[in-house]
Structure formats: C-alpha cells, structure tokens
Amino acid sequence: MKTIQIGVRNISLNLPITKTLSLSQGKAVITIDPFNQRIKILECSGDISELMNQLQPLYEKYGIGKIFHICEKSHVTAFVDQGFIVEAEVEQFLTGSTGYFVSLYVVPERQKSQNTVEEDSILCLAANCSSTKNNNQLSQGYEIRTAVPEDIHELSTLYNTVFSSYPFPMNDPMYIKKMMESSTLFKVILHNNKIISAASAEMDIHNNSAEMTDCATFPAHRGKGLMHFLLQSLEEEMIHRNFQVLYTIARARSHGMNIVFAKN
C-alpha cells in the first residue's frame, strides 16, 4: 500500500500494483488489484503454467479471488488447461482480432451470483429499451466539457456521494489524478458551474479500444438523459482519436446503467 502526502494530509491508496515477471521463454506483465482482490494479466509471452507458478504466492499474499486475461484465440487452450474458463468474447477487441475474456476463480464462491432472477429481469427490461430514442438536445442550464486536473476534487465528491461502493477508489482525488495522467479521459456536465454528472473513457492505446465507465450523476439531476450526452461526447472523441472498439462492463443489477447503454 502506498501513502501519498498532500499538504498536511496523508491518504492511503490501495492502488493496483503493476509487476513484470520473467519467464524462461518470455515475460508477463500483471496488475495486482488488492482493492478488488483480483489479478489482471496484461500481457504474456511464455509458458502459462510457469506463469501460474509465479502467481500463486502473489494471490496468496494479497488474498486474490480472481485472475483474468484477455487473449487471442490461439492462446485460449493454454489458459483453459490451467483451469481458466472463457467468460466472453468481443469481436475486433485486440486491434481487429477477437478478444477472449478468460478467468480463473481462485475463490469458487466468487463465480456464483445470488441474484440471478433479478438480474435476468433487469437485462430483459434493458433490451426492451434498446429501440427507445434519446433526447436530441441537452437540457437548458447544463453544459458539457472535457474534465481538467482542477476538477479532481469535485469529481471525487460526485463519486463519493453517488456510490456506496465501487470497484476502484474513485472518492480519492489522487486516484482520479493518476487516471487523468495515464490514459483516462473524463467528460463532465456542469449546472451553475458545478459538476453534477461525469463519465470516462479508459483508453487501451495498444489495442485501439476504450472502456466507457465511471458514470455518475447526482440524484437531483437524474432523468434528464445527461449520461447519453456524456457517452455521445466521449464516443465522438474516441472516433476522432481512431479508436475502433468501445465497450462497457456494467453490473447486471445496475438498472439505470443497463438501460442507458442499451439505448446507446
């Protein structure tokens, strides 16, 4: 865990840790995420079984429940042989090639959902909304723009207010600052010069894909279709930057966000 000092205040950041592991015939780059108790294999050139041997002390040390990777079709079998399962596939995800999402559940209970009926109901509702049209014009009194570093404290307040829990520490200004400085573009909507809604595009420059994420709106400003305009603005920016694939990962129980993305 890293501690960063801001003024007279110390903030402990349980941020992901990136490591490069040496393999006999290559290397692997991984991200250890203690906050979400998972490891993501960013890249791997070498023997998968050798990699798994090196990962074992790490997932024991950090209490990891899940290991996942996005790989090409030619590598799927090697991961399946190590106990991984294929959870999804996305066409053109890896610079034009299909990306296969493979996962190993170190803690088997993590794979199971306790809310299948509710989740299926919400997904059906979202699918039925896919033909519904969005508003064509942003409501009067609202304006949209790209976020800047001076916005990080307002953004952290927004995320801290909207989410009781989140996969990443978005209520921490330093974490948002780190995202902005790496490869994440935020768009915000203002009302009376205050940020009241935001979303981001987390860019994978190597594969020309971007995840549309970090969507939040203060409760008092919901129901105006604001997220549609944020996603539209992010999409236009990603197209301008020549990104080929935009995607999102939303919890099945997230009623509002599944409808927003289905309509878009």
Q: Provide the residue-wise pLDDT of the chain in tens; the chain has 264 residues.
A: 333 333 333 334 567 789 999 998 899 999 999 888 999 999 999 899 999 999 999 989 999 999 999 999 999 999 999 999 999 998 888 888 999 999 999 998 888 877 788 888 878 877 887 777 777 789 899 999 999 999 999 999 999 999 876 667 788 899 899 999 989 999 999 999 999 999 999 999 888 899 999 999 999 999 899 999 999 999 999 999 999 899 888 888 777 888 888 888
Those residues whose C-beta lies under 8 Å from the C-beta of residue 113, and which sit 6 or more positions away, are: 119, 252
**Under a CB-based contact definition with an 8 Å cutoff, are residues 53 and 47 in contact?**
no
pTM of the predicted structure, to 2 decimals: 0.78
Residue whose C-alpha is closest to residue 58's, from 75, 73, 39: 39
pLDDT of residue 2: 37
What gap in Å lies between CA 152 and CA 41, rounded to an integer? Answer: 29
CA distance 194 to 104: 43
